[in-house]
Amino acid sequence: MHRGKEIVYNVDDLVMLSTANRRRSYKRKGAKRVAKFMPRFDGPYTVVAAHPSKSEYTLRLLNNPKTFPGFHSSLLKPFIPNDRLAFPDRELPNPGIVVTEDGSEEVLVDKIVDERKRGRGRQYKVRWIGYGKEHDEWLPRSELLNNEALDVWERDNGELPSEI
């Protein structure tokens, strides 16, 4: 038996994840959808840990807290961004707003990419999950107090989280 050369992914690479074992999650209860119309891969997801010797990669799955984030390399393929000029009809829409259990609407923060001082406070440049850097937005610290991205930013930049 011969196998092709395995693709090695690095931390922070974007990959597509096979939906072969997760097709039920795409079906709503009572929906009559056929498997051949289901997406074969979804994503892109960011690689957060790479173990190429074991062919295992850990992905950042923020919208799937019950799913174990480790996957074999056979379930992954490299993410290739769309060329908007060559294929304008292939552009995927940005993900919609998430509606929580209490009925409030929110967009999930991927990470904080910058910080600046404004008046007596600070503002943070936020990158949203599923959106590119052209959608980054400056938000005051008061809107990010209970956000894990702010804790990560402060930890990585040597700031201690403080209560306001």
Average pLDDT over residues 129-137: 78
Structure tokens, 34: 């056929």
Neighbours of 141 (CB within 10 A): 16
- Chain centroid, CA 138 distance in Å: 20
**For residue range 30-66, what is the model confidence (pLDDT) as tens digits?**
666 666 777 788 888 899 999 988 989 999 887 666 7
Name the pLDDT band for 111 (thresholds 50, 70, 90).
confident
pLDDT for 139 beyond 70? yes
Query: Does the global pTM surpass 0.85?
Result: no
Length of the chain: 164
pLDDT for 162 beyond 60? no
CA gap 13, 120 in Å, rounded:
37
pLDDT of residue 164: 45
State residue 128 phi and psi, 5-degree precision.
-85, 150
Domains and CATH numbers, the chain: 14-78 (no CATH), 98-156 (2.40.50.40)
Neighbours of 144 (CB within 10 A): 19
Contact 129, 119 (CB under 8 A): no
H/E segment holding residue 95: none
pLDDT of residue 56: 93
Q: Who contacts 93 (Cβ-Cβ below 8 Å, separation ≥6)?
A: none
